[in-house]
Structure 1
Amino acid sequence: MLGVQKVSSAPERVIATPATGPLTEADRDFVVEVRSAGLWEYPVGRLALRKGTTKAVKLAGEHLVDGQASLDAASRNVAGRLDITLPNQPSPQQQGFVTTLKTDSGKRFDTDMATILRATDGPFLSTIASVRTTTRNSLVRALADQVNDIVLDHVDVLEKTGLVDFGQVLVQETTASKLAPQEVTPPPPVPGQPQVVLTPPATSTLSPSPSAG
């Protein structure tokens, strides 16, 4: 199984040649990143449904839960077909976001939720575009299309809350990260541990699996 540890030194290096096309390190890291994003944004969406003080924040929570459950199913499907090991926990940095929002309440929760998610989803759009335009694997390409649609939707509903602190978002997006690699890399799954599955809401209308193209 291909590991979850990111290897940024050679993103274009081909690490497998399945029938769906050559798989690079960047492709592998992208599938892992999609899974990792869902592992923290999904519980934040559920927090928004419970703690949000406005209809717009609760609506954003609905979109987060529905969208991340769909992407989780898609990333697990792609990973299984490409022999990629997925994490069962988000990165330490992402776990920190969840911890912060768990302790927040009232309007502070609403503002922090909208700003933190907008600050992370914005740069992810650049990653999606890069993978979509460079990958030679049809499964990864289809996954990138699906992720792009859902992340754009999440950015839209977050901005419509009217609570995003764009000044803070700009600082986070333009300041080089000083975090160590282990802080932004999800830990590998514990051997024998069942794979965590993000359950879609009963009202979900999103497709869980991308086409091979």
Structure 2
Amino acid sequence: MSAVEHMSRRSHLITAALAAMVLVLIEPRAARAEPGVPLPPNQLITDTGKGSVAAADRDFTVKVRLAGLWEIPAGQMAQQKSDNPRIRAIGREIAAQHVVLDKMTRDAAKKLNIELPDKPNTDQQGWLAEMRDAEGEEFDQIYIDRLRAAHGKIFPAIATIRTSTRNDTIRKLAQRANQFVMTHLTLLESSNLVDFAALPTAPPPSPATTTAARPVLSAADASQPAAAPLNVPLIAGLAVAIAAVALLLTRRLWSDPRRRRRRYRAYY
């Protein structure tokens, strides 16, 4: 293979590598298989107790504690009273996870001086009484119905606290609780006993409040597609990549022996 052919082949390889790198920068998902649903990076959230603690933060912490106080014994009953292996497994897993979440909650409350209850509230005690009086399939249905309804109520409350709290410890607790609740919803629904048609419907969407603040566009402007915002890291990455490839090509070109001989002849 001649030096020119060798260099041409290298140039094609470099060009292909550059194209692949551009693809990764522009659309990372196209360059790798989807690994699954990512877990939030909890370690990036500090847990120092810094920031003001609102009444909503205290109420949220109490509610997470209350959830564990009745769902742990409910899960224990599921293991003892249900004839369905799936229900027993769901009860065991949810109870075990609430033990972990309850410790996180008590640690956060101790750090922030939040007083926590030590027994379920009246409604929760009533649900536990229903389960104690039921057997077999009746127990299974009550267990799934009560836990699915409770998780459906606290799920949006967690989101509100996660996005609004000023305290880093509450923020981290809310993020962790969100992960637990999503898992529990999925476990409960895997029983195939959830009556989705009977679940509360979502409230109607509220009217947009930012429309009036937007500038009025002319008909000509409205017909034009909106310009995408500049992605500074992407542009910088492309610039560096292109500069590196250009430098490599230049060095290869000047290191070609045939070109050096032509340069030497030009001097004599």
Same fold (TM over 0.5): yes
Distance (Å, rounded) in 2 between the aligned partners of 1:19 and 1:128: 18
Residues 56 and 157, structure 1, Cα contact 8 Å, conserved in 2: no
Q: 1:51 aligns with which of 65, 81, 90?
A: 81
| Letter paired with 2:53 | L
Distance (Å, rounded) in 2 between the aligned partners of 1:120 and 1:45: 14
Match of 1:151? 181
The 5 Å alignment of 1:2-151 reads: 19-151=49-181
TM-aligned CA deviation for residue 170 of structure 1: 2.8
Distance (Å, rounded) in 1 between the aligned partners of 2:129 and 2:173: 29
| Letter paired with 1:34 | V
Q: Identity over the aligned pairs, expressed in percent?
A: 37
CA distances 1:18-42 after superposition (whole Å, capped 9, x unpaired):
9511100000000100001100011
Once superposed, which parts of structure 1, at least 4 consecutive aligned residues long, lie more than 6 Å away? none
Match of 1:3? none
Distance (Å, rounded) in 2 between the aligned partners of 1:19 and 1:149: 21
Query: TM (normalized to structure 2)?
Result: 0.56
Residues 162 and 171, structure 2, Cα contact 8 Å, conserved in 1: yes
| Letter paired with 2:119 | Q
Distance (Å, rounded) in 2 between the aligned partners of 1:63 and 1:114: 14
TM-aligned CA deviation for residue 168 of structure 1: 3.4
| Letter paired with 1:123 | K
Measured on the aligned residues, the alpha-carbon RMSD in Å equals: 1.6
Distance (Å, rounded) in 2 between the aligned partners of 1:43 and 1:30: 21
Query: TM (normalized to structure 1)?
Result: 0.70
Match of 2:256? none
| Letter paired with 1:137 | N
The structure with the largest helix share of the pair is: 2
TM-aligned CA deviation for residue 77 of structure 1: 0.3
CA distances 1:120-172 after superposition (whole Å, capped 9, x unpaired):
1012110000000000100000101111111111110100001112233337x
The answer to whether structure 1 residue 160 and structure 2 residue 160 are counterparts is no
SS at match of 1:163: coil
Residues 115 and 169, structure 1, Cα contact 8 Å, conserved in 2: no
Unaligned 5+ residue runs, structure 2? 1-47, 204-268
| Letter paired with 1:41 | E
Residues 59 and 157, structure 1, Cα contact 8 Å, conserved in 2: no
Match of 2:27? none
TM-aligned CA deviation for residue 81 of structure 1: 0.4
Unaligned 5+ residue runs, structure 1? 1-17, 175-213
TM-aligned CA deviation for residue 113 of structure 1: 0.6
Distance (Å, rounded) in 2 between the aligned partners of 1:19 and 1:30: 15
TM-aligned CA deviation for residue 44 of structure 1: 0.3
Distance (Å, rounded) in 2 between the aligned partners of 1:19 and 1:76: 13
TM-aligned CA deviation for residue 61 of structure 1: 0.6
